[in-house]
């Protein structure tokens, strides 16, 4: 029922996640930032981080957990809850090397919100490093 009632909202939230991965894979930091509603929160590796525009760019430096990374892709995106201004999405994404081998795949929850007419990622909780 929720998926039918809030189809437009779900479609907008899913498009936001598509744009997020595409921007990251393209190395487009402006488009990446456009996928968020700031401040945005990320919980990973038992650390809670609050990001403002221009601050979540670890992936762009290709260091640490991203030293071998060339792209990411969704393995699953399932709607948990949806409403008029917020969608909770259960996801699994993989990080890939240049040869196509998988670095790792990680379960995550994304909360995408509608704020001031803009759908963006507000909260991420991930098992990714």
Distance CA 112, CA 124 (A): 9
User: Is residue 96 predicted with pLDDT exceeding 80?
Assistant: yes
Q: Phi first, then psi: give them for residue 34, nearest 5 degrees.
A: -65, -10
The pair of three-digit structure tokens given for residue 89, joined into one six-digit string: 């999405």
The answer to pTM > 0.85 is yes
Domains and CATH numbers, the chain: 2-126 (3.10.450.50)
pLDDT tens sequence across 63-78: 566 688 899 999 999 9
Token look-up 């996801």 returns 91
As beta bridge partners, residue 51 has 40
Going across the sheet that includes 86-96, the strands are: 47-51, 36-44, 118-126, 102-115, 86-96, 71-82
Which of 10-24, 53-67, 80-94, 108-122 is least confident? 53-67
């Amino acid at each position: 029922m929720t998926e039918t009632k809030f189809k437009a909202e779900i479609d907008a939230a899913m498009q936001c996640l598509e744009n997020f991965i595409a921007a990251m894979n393209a190395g487009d930091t402006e488009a990446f930032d456009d996928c968020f509603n700031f401040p945005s929160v990320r919980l990973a590796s038992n650390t809670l981080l609050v990001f403002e525009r221009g601050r979540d760019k670890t992936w762009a430096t290709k260091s640490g957990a991203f030293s071998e990374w060339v792209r990411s892709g969704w393995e699953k995106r399932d709607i948990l809850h949806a409403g008029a201004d917020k969608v909770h999405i259960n996801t699994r994404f993989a990080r890939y090397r240049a040869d196509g081998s998988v670095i790792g795949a990680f379960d995550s929850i994304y909360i995408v919100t509608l704020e001031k007419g803009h759908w963006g990622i507000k909260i991420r909780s991930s098992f990714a490093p």
